[in-house]
Amino acid sequence: MTREQRALVAEIRAKGRRLEGYAATFGTEARIEDFSEIIAPGAFRDSIDRGRDVLALVDHDARRVLARTRSGTLRLSEDSRGLAFDLDLPDTSYGRDVLALAERGDVGGMSFAFTVDPSGEEWRGDRRELRSVTLHEISVVSAWPAYDGTIVHARHRGLALPPRLAAARKWMESL
Protein backbone atom coordinates (compact mmCIF):
# COMPACT_ATOMS: atom_id res chain seq x y z
CA MET A 1 0.00 0.00 0.00
CA THR A 2 1.28 3.43 -0.92
CA ARG A 3 1.16 6.13 1.74
CA GLU A 4 -0.61 9.23 0.44
CA GLN A 5 -1.04 12.77 1.74
CA ARG A 6 -3.84 15.26 1.20
CA ALA A 7 -4.12 18.83 2.43
CA LEU A 8 -7.17 21.05 2.90
CA VAL A 9 -7.79 24.79 3.25
CA ALA A 10 -8.57 25.67 6.86
CA GLU A 11 -9.98 28.59 8.78
CA ILE A 12 -8.03 29.10 11.99
CA ARG A 13 -9.00 31.09 15.06
CA ALA A 14 -6.82 31.33 18.15
CA LYS A 15 -8.37 31.02 21.60
CA GLY A 16 -5.62 29.48 23.71
CA ARG A 17 -3.38 26.41 23.64
CA ARG A 18 -5.76 24.11 21.80
CA LEU A 19 -6.53 23.62 18.12
CA GLU A 20 -9.72 22.10 16.84
CA GLY A 21 -11.44 21.74 13.53
CA TYR A 22 -11.54 19.40 10.55
CA ALA A 23 -8.57 17.60 9.03
CA ALA A 24 -10.74 16.30 6.17
CA THR A 25 -14.23 17.06 4.89
CA PHE A 26 -16.60 14.67 3.17
CA GLY A 27 -17.88 15.21 -0.35
CA THR A 28 -15.35 17.95 -1.23
CA GLU A 29 -13.72 17.30 -4.59
CA ALA A 30 -9.96 17.81 -4.97
CA ARG A 31 -7.82 17.61 -8.08
CA ILE A 32 -4.82 15.31 -7.47
CA GLU A 33 -2.42 15.19 -10.42
CA ASP A 34 -4.46 13.61 -13.25
CA PHE A 35 -7.55 12.56 -11.26
CA SER A 36 -10.11 14.00 -8.88
CA GLU A 37 -10.91 12.63 -5.46
CA ILE A 38 -13.60 12.86 -2.81
CA ILE A 39 -13.80 11.39 0.69
CA ALA A 40 -16.92 9.42 1.59
CA PRO A 41 -18.52 9.62 5.05
CA GLY A 42 -17.12 6.83 7.22
CA ALA A 43 -13.74 6.69 5.47
CA PHE A 44 -11.85 7.19 8.76
CA ARG A 45 -14.21 5.22 11.03
CA ASP A 46 -12.12 2.02 11.22
CA SER A 47 -8.92 3.94 12.05
CA ILE A 48 -10.71 5.72 14.87
CA ASP A 49 -12.54 2.63 16.13
CA ARG A 50 -9.38 0.49 16.13
CA GLY A 51 -7.72 3.05 18.38
CA ARG A 52 -4.61 3.27 16.24
CA ASP A 53 -1.99 5.79 17.32
CA VAL A 54 -2.38 8.79 15.01
CA LEU A 55 0.02 11.73 15.21
CA ALA A 56 -0.60 15.45 14.72
CA LEU A 57 2.43 17.03 13.02
CA VAL A 58 3.58 20.31 11.52
CA ASP A 59 3.89 20.03 7.71
CA HIS A 60 4.13 16.20 7.86
CA ASP A 61 7.46 16.52 9.70
CA ALA A 62 7.82 13.63 12.19
CA ARG A 63 10.37 15.72 14.12
CA ARG A 64 7.63 18.26 14.97
CA VAL A 65 4.97 16.29 16.84
CA LEU A 66 2.12 18.42 18.18
CA ALA A 67 0.00 15.64 19.71
CA ARG A 68 -0.98 11.97 19.42
CA THR A 69 -3.99 9.83 20.12
CA ARG A 70 -2.04 7.35 22.28
CA SER A 71 -1.26 10.02 24.89
CA GLY A 72 -4.73 11.58 24.69
CA THR A 73 -3.40 14.94 23.46
CA LEU A 74 -5.09 14.36 20.07
CA ARG A 75 -8.76 13.44 19.87
CA LEU A 76 -10.34 12.38 16.56
CA SER A 77 -13.94 11.75 15.59
CA GLU A 78 -16.15 11.62 12.52
CA ASP A 79 -19.36 13.58 12.16
CA SER A 80 -21.55 14.42 9.19
CA ARG A 81 -19.06 17.05 8.00
CA GLY A 82 -15.79 15.14 8.15
CA LEU A 83 -12.82 14.10 10.27
CA ALA A 84 -12.91 16.34 13.35
CA PHE A 85 -9.88 16.84 15.56
CA ASP A 86 -9.12 18.48 18.88
CA LEU A 87 -5.50 18.73 20.04
CA ASP A 88 -3.56 20.21 22.93
CA LEU A 89 -0.58 22.23 21.69
CA PRO A 90 2.76 21.53 23.36
CA ASP A 91 4.82 24.31 24.92
CA THR A 92 7.61 23.84 22.38
CA SER A 93 9.02 26.27 19.83
CA TYR A 94 6.99 24.77 16.97
CA GLY A 95 3.87 24.48 19.18
CA ARG A 96 4.15 28.20 19.98
CA ASP A 97 4.82 28.96 16.31
CA VAL A 98 1.67 27.10 15.20
CA LEU A 99 -0.36 28.91 17.84
CA ALA A 100 1.01 32.32 16.75
CA LEU A 101 0.23 31.54 13.09
CA ALA A 102 -3.25 30.30 14.01
CA GLU A 103 -3.94 33.47 16.01
CA ARG A 104 -2.95 35.61 13.01
CA GLY A 105 -4.90 33.49 10.53
CA ASP A 106 -1.74 32.57 8.64
CA VAL A 107 -1.97 28.76 8.66
CA GLY A 108 -2.63 27.36 5.18
CA GLY A 109 -4.84 24.46 6.18
CA MET A 110 -4.88 20.89 7.40
CA SER A 111 -3.56 17.75 5.82
CA PHE A 112 -3.67 14.04 6.48
CA ALA A 113 -1.53 11.02 5.53
CA PHE A 114 -3.18 7.67 4.86
CA THR A 115 -3.07 4.36 3.06
CA VAL A 116 -6.11 3.02 1.25
CA ASP A 117 -7.58 -0.10 2.86
CA PRO A 118 -8.25 -3.16 0.67
CA SER A 119 -11.45 -2.40 -1.23
CA GLY A 120 -11.38 1.07 0.32
CA GLU A 121 -11.64 3.02 -2.93
CA GLU A 122 -13.92 3.17 -5.91
CA TRP A 123 -12.87 4.51 -9.30
CA ARG A 124 -15.27 5.96 -11.87
CA GLY A 125 -13.16 7.05 -14.82
CA ASP A 126 -10.65 9.57 -13.47
CA ARG A 127 -12.56 10.13 -10.21
CA ARG A 128 -11.68 8.27 -7.01
CA GLU A 129 -13.87 8.01 -3.94
CA LEU A 130 -12.05 7.13 -0.71
CA ARG A 131 -14.34 4.86 1.32
CA SER A 132 -11.99 3.34 3.90
CA VAL A 133 -8.46 4.47 4.74
CA THR A 134 -5.91 3.83 7.46
CA LEU A 135 -5.08 7.22 8.96
CA HIS A 136 -1.42 7.73 9.93
CA GLU A 137 -1.27 11.41 10.79
CA ILE A 138 -2.86 14.80 10.44
CA SER A 139 -0.78 17.94 9.91
CA VAL A 140 -1.13 21.67 10.23
CA VAL A 141 0.23 22.93 6.89
CA SER A 142 1.79 26.29 6.19
CA ALA A 143 1.10 26.65 2.50
CA TRP A 144 -1.35 25.31 -0.08
CA PRO A 145 -3.66 22.41 0.63
CA ALA A 146 -5.28 20.04 -1.88
CA TYR A 147 -8.80 20.15 -0.41
CA ASP A 148 -10.95 23.13 0.51
CA GLY A 149 -13.22 23.17 3.51
CA THR A 150 -11.20 22.23 6.56
CA ILE A 151 -11.51 24.33 9.68
CA VAL A 152 -9.02 24.86 12.48
CA HIS A 153 -9.69 26.85 15.62
CA ALA A 154 -7.27 27.63 18.41
CA ARG A 155 -9.12 27.25 21.71
CA HIS A 156 -8.50 28.26 25.30
CA ARG A 157 -8.55 25.47 27.88
CA GLY A 158 -7.13 25.31 31.36
CA LEU A 159 -5.32 28.65 31.39
CA ALA A 160 -6.22 30.80 34.39
CA LEU A 161 -6.78 34.46 33.67
CA PRO A 162 -5.89 37.13 36.20
CA PRO A 163 -9.06 38.07 38.18
CA ARG A 164 -9.51 41.46 36.46
CA LEU A 165 -9.25 39.91 32.97
CA ALA A 166 -11.56 37.04 33.96
CA ALA A 167 -14.17 39.55 35.20
CA ALA A 168 -13.83 41.66 32.03
CA ARG A 169 -14.15 38.56 29.83
CA LYS A 170 -17.27 37.40 31.73
CA TRP A 171 -18.82 40.86 31.36
CA MET A 172 -18.08 40.99 27.61
CA GLU A 173 -19.48 37.48 27.05
CA SER A 174 -22.72 38.55 28.76
CA LEU A 175 -23.32 41.33 26.20
Please write the tens of the pLDDT for every residue from 31-75: 888 899 999 999 999 999 999 999 999 999 999 999 999 999 999
Tell me if the pTM is above 0.95. Answer: no
The predicted pLDDT at position 161 comes to 38
The predicted pLDDT at position 31 comes to 84
Other CB atoms closer than 10 Å to residue 149's CB: what's the count? 20
Query: Are the C-beta atoms of 25 and 82 separated by less than 8 Å?
Result: yes
74-88, 94-108, 133-147: the lowest-pLDDT one: 133-147
The predicted pLDDT at position 64 comes to 96
pLDDT tens-place string over residues 128-165: 999 999 999 999 987 655 454 454 545 444 344 344 44
Supply the CATH classification number for the domain 4-173.
Answer: 3.20.16
The predicted pLDDT at position 1 comes to 65
Domain ranges of the chain: 4-173
Tell me the mean pLDDT in the region 97-116: 86
The predicted pLDDT at position 7 comes to 56
How does DSSP assign 65-102, residue by residue?
EEEETTTTSEEEEE-SSEEEEEEEPPSSHHHHHHHHHH
The two beta strands, 30-32 and 121-124, are unpaired
Q: What are phi and psi of 102, to 5 degrees?
A: -65, -40
- Please state, in angstroms and rounded to a whole number, the distance separating the CA atoms of residues 107 and 110: 8
